[in-house]
Amino acid sequence: MAYRGHAYQGWQSQRGGRTVQDTLQAALVAFVGQPVSVVCAGRTDAGVHALQQVVHLDSPVQRDDFSWVRGTNRFLPRDIAVQWALPVGTAFHARNSARGRRYRFIVLDAPVRPAIETGLCGWSFRPLDGDSMRSAAECLIGRHDFSAFRSSHCQSPTPVKTLRSIEISRRGAYWRFDFDGNAFLHHMVRNLLGCFVMIGSGRESAGWMARVLASRSRDAAAPTFPADGLYFVGPYYDPTLGIPDAPTAADWLP
């Protein structure tokens, strides 16, 4: 499924009910006629978008694959849409079966804040230097303790994660930061982005990133960057499962 995160308090179900999970489960109940619970591949914060959030459910009824798409979307708001559906074996788990996850941050580099794309991109009014940010990213690749970039509300049992790649590119006035890792801590990508902007704008050196990482202290890092412009690109799985890997919604991003 894909969704815009503006109107929601994140993925995770909450008492107020204004979350993506609650909205999806309500639509499934309307379509199926019975209570349905779903599990996602990666929780997203309030305001974070998803290009391909993968969820699994144990279906109480039988429906054609495309009926799950059309039928569920009938009861979803316009900013959430199921993209595809297919049956999987009982051993499949949307979160635990994932081999990795990808996030993308889009940041506008301009002296004036965004208007048309507000909420869909971050913003830096200070010019950013790509070479210094790419140099800073090198120390983050591999298996590390990312405590310095971890929210105090993080529920992960360990701060040790593996970042497989960080790609930083620019198209026009927009910077794109692509993160690929086995898993991510709560606010990890937003905290990393805050550090990249500090370095790219010249307020810190590229070597500062390694010192922040080594400190294992959240106080050593930059403030958490706003969620605007952050997209959960999606998880990826063993190819034999036949799960789509490239979300079509990614084609329109810079």
228 is catalytic: no
Question: What is the C-alpha to C-alpha distance for residues 15 and 21, in angstroms, rounded to an integer?
Answer: 12
Question: What is the C-alpha to C-alpha distance for residues 23 and 27, in angstroms, rounded to an integer?
Answer: 6
Among candidate residues 111, 200, 182, the one with its CA nearest the CA of residue 144? 182
Please tell me which residue in 22, 45, 109, 180 is annotated as part of the active site: 45
Active site residues: 45
